[in-house]
Amino acid sequence: MSKTFYRKSKRILDIIVSLLTIIITSPVLLLSTLLIWFTDRKEVFVKEPLRIGLHGKEFKMLKFRTMIPDAHNKIQNDPEFKDLKDTWIKKDGKLKISEDRRITRIGKILRRTDIDELPQLFNVFMGDMSLVGPRPMYDGEIARYLGKFPEGKKYLRRIQRVRPGLTGIWQVSGRNEIRFKDRVILEAKYASNVNMKEDYKIFLKTPFVVLTRKGVYE
């Protein structure tokens, strides 16, 4: 299969599957939107950070807000969250749901069911993302990674040759059990050897991973 045929056929599948899934899950999307809005009358979707997509282009990844407003900025700059920031940095930019006090009551439910990720179907439909691909990164975590592993630029370049995904090799291989530096290598390897067979395998493994919560910090 040529790379051109792979890209075109994958894009067609992305459009069809994402649209059908949006229609099927629309009641869940609507209910989640209302619950988040009525909780504190604030924004429904996460505002930042912007994610890095195909060819290094930034885009807004749609994700239901599961935390207090401006949570990303507060953990980095608000003295109230200094202790949480120390833990966050120590744990490679990850926190358990049970230890992150920024998460709202509705947010805990959305995270434990992965419903917070559903709006990314719109990103897939619009072409910012694909159903399967590397997990979208943001500038802050890339900067922390390159600060420790400057030689990792070659892996990041490979990753940015393909669209980031709603699911991907990282999610079905252990998710948060995998350290960021190992995740980068894993996703770079995927990006260097993209093929439809591998995408199907990842896509079919995803429901099991979601249902069993494998690799999720809770």
Is 153 within the bounds of a domain?
A: yes
Q: Sheet containing 58-59: give its strands across.
A: 58-59, 51-52, 137-138
CB atoms inside a 10 Å sphere around CB 27: 8
State the first-to-last Cα distance of the chain, in angstroms, to the nearest integer: 41
- CB of 91 within 8 A of CB of 211? no
Is 75 part of a structural domain of the chain?
no
- pLDDT band at residue 218 using 50, 70 and 90 as cut-offs: low
pLDDT for res 2:
82
Q: Would residue 96 count as lying in a domain?
A: no
pTM: 0.90
Q: How confident is the model at residue 90 (pLDDT cuts 50, 70, 90)?
A: confident
pLDDT recorded at residue 213: 74
Q: Is residue 97 part of a domain?
A: no
pLDDT of residue 97: 85
Asked whether residue 132 carries a pLDDT value surpassing 90, the answer given is yes
Widest pairwise Cα distance in the chain: 54
Q: Higher pLDDT residue, 93 or 197?
A: 197
Question: Does any domain span residue 72?
Answer: no
Tokens of 14: 């992305």
- The string of pLDDT tens digits covering residues 62-86 is 999 999 988 888 888 888 888 888 8
- The answer to whether the CB of 137 falls within 8 A of the CB of 52 is yes
Give the mean model confidence (pLDDT) for residues 105-129.
95
Mean pLDDT, residues 109-127 taken together: 95
Give the pLDDT of residue 56: 94
Rounded Cα distance, 39 and 180, in Å: 33
What is the pLDDT, as a whole number, of residue 215?
A: 60
pLDDT tens per residue across span 164-198: 999 999 999 988 789 899 999 999 999 999 999 99
Kindly state whether residue 121 falls inside one of the protein's structural domains. yes
Average pLDDT over the chain reads 91
Model pLDDT, residue 217: 58
Query: Which pLDDT belongs to residue 91?
Result: 79
Q: How confident is the model at residue 1 (pLDDT cuts 50, 70, 90)?
A: low
Q: What's the pLDDT at 96?
A: 84
Per the structure, the complete domain to which residue 175 belongs is given by 3-66+104-211
Number of domains present in the structure of the chain: 1
Measured in degrees and rounded to the nearest 5, phi and psi for residue 201 equal: -60, -45
Report yes or no on 216 lying in a domain. no
Quick check: 25 pLDDT over 90?
yes
What pLDDT was estimated at residue 106?
A: 93
Residue 85 domain-assigned (yes or no): no
